Amino acid sequence: MAAPSSYLGWKIDYANPPGEPAYLEPGSVHWRVYKNPIALAVGGVAAVLLEFADARIRSGVWDHSTYKVDPIGRSKRTGIAAMVGVYGPQAAARRVIQGVTNMHARVIGETPKGEAYKALDVELLDWVSATAGYGFLNAYDRFVAPLSEAEKTRFYEEAHPIARLYGVKYSPGSQADFMAMMDKLAPRFEPHPIVGEFLDIIQSGKAAPAAPKFLHKVLARASVSLLPPIVREKLALGREYDLTTFDALSLKAAGKLAEKIPIKSSPPSQASVRLGLPYDFLYRSQAEQRRLLAEREAGEPKVASA
């Protein structure tokens, strides 16, 4: 049995209590996407870039978080917060998300141009939540396995209950909804040296020291490649961030490999066991997953050892 993860002082046990549901079902697109570390890494960086395009979020993160001095710790905490919403028992997810909200309540300040901001501003909450979904979804689709338009729309729709826990008022229901949301905010977007500092941290490998060194710069370029053209233009991210064919092939190889290797101690595997499914449930074929889910519904789960 894996040791529980820790976040904001709470222990998160993804394997217990047995049977306690997550906010999303094992057959959801979220469960499929969030198990892949390449999708999370690339999508997470893309989401931060989308957020940093707005001066209010950029200042809030850079001035009030530990990212620039502790990128590893900050990345881990962000990853755990994302995982618990998808795979964690509902009670644990509520505790962690409330902790995040309490922390964000203290994030208040002014941008360098004197514009006031607060992290719990609904417009900012909505955008941050939307960028995470956009990043993870498109990173998986581009660098792991293609998703149909119906699956992409389902992914956005699945996110609504978790988004509401964070205080989000508007959660896009499709890729088109996300783009419309972005277009409304686009006049605010601007370049800033902090964006370059952030990408330098990503390329240095400090935020993901376990990843192979050659992937660090690839990760940055891949994340930039996911940005809608208007955002990349507004952030002034030039050709030095162009993704090469070798970059894309390397990342896709890593993404596909990660799709085949279940880790028993990981949140996706532990959550599967908690819900009466084999630890490698998410790494089996779609047909096999449907069969296992049907057996579970019929009260005949065949659970592999955790």
The reported pLDDT for the residue numbered 10 is 60
Domain contains 107? yes
Domain that holds residue 105: 5-297
Q: What percent of the chain has a predicted confidence (pLDDT) above 70?
A: 91
Alpha helices, DSSP H only, in the chain? 29-34, 37-52, 55-64, 71-87, 90-104, 122-143, 149-158, 160-165, 175-185, 193-204, 214-225, 229-235, 245-258, 267-274, 286-297
Q: Taking residues 281-290, what's their average pLDDT?
A: 96
What burial class does residue 61 get, using C-beta atoms within 10 Å of its C-beta: 0-12 exposed, 13-18 middle, 19+ buried? buried
Assess whether pLDDT exceeds 60 at residue 306: no
Instruction: Please give the pLDDT value at position 229.
Output: 97
Q: Is residue 91 part of a domain?
A: yes
Give the pLDDT confidence of 64-90 residue by residue, as tens digits: 876 676 766 666 677 788 899 999 999
What confidence tens digit (pLDDT) does each residue in 111-145 have?
999 999 999 999 999 999 999 999 999 999 999 99
Average pLDDT over residues 45-51: 94
Comparing CA positions, the residue from 58, 46, 57, 232 lying closest to residue 132 is 46
The answer to whether the CB of 44 falls within 8 A of the CB of 136 is yes
Residue 71's pLDDT is 64
Contact call for residues 135 and 226 (beta carbons, < 8 A): yes
Residue 252 included in any domain: yes
Q: Does residue 9 surpass a pLDDT of 90?
A: no
Query: From CA 211, how far away is CA 216, in angstroms rounded?
Result: 7
Q: What is the mean pLDDT of residues 166-177?
A: 97
Among 56-70, 178-192, 285-299, the range with the most confident prediction by mean pLDDT is 178-192
Domain-embedded: residue 303: no
Give the mean pLDDT of the chain: 90
- Residue 4 confidence (pLDDT): 58
Domain assignment present for 304: no
pLDDT in tens, 99-116: 999 989 999 999 999 999
Q: Is residue 118 part of a domain?
A: yes
Q: Give the model confidence (pLDDT) of 293-304 as tens digits.
A: 999 988 854 544
DSSP state of 303: P
- For the stretch 196-252, pLDDT in tens is 999 998 898 877 777 777 788 999 999 999 999 999 999 999 999 999 999 999 999
**Per-residue pLDDT, 212:** 74
In a domain, 108, yes or no: yes
Range 253-275 average pLDDT: 96
* 302 in any annotated domain: no
- At residue 305 the predicted structure's pLDDT band, cuts being 50, 70 and 90, is very low
Provide the number of structural domains found in the chain. Answer: 1
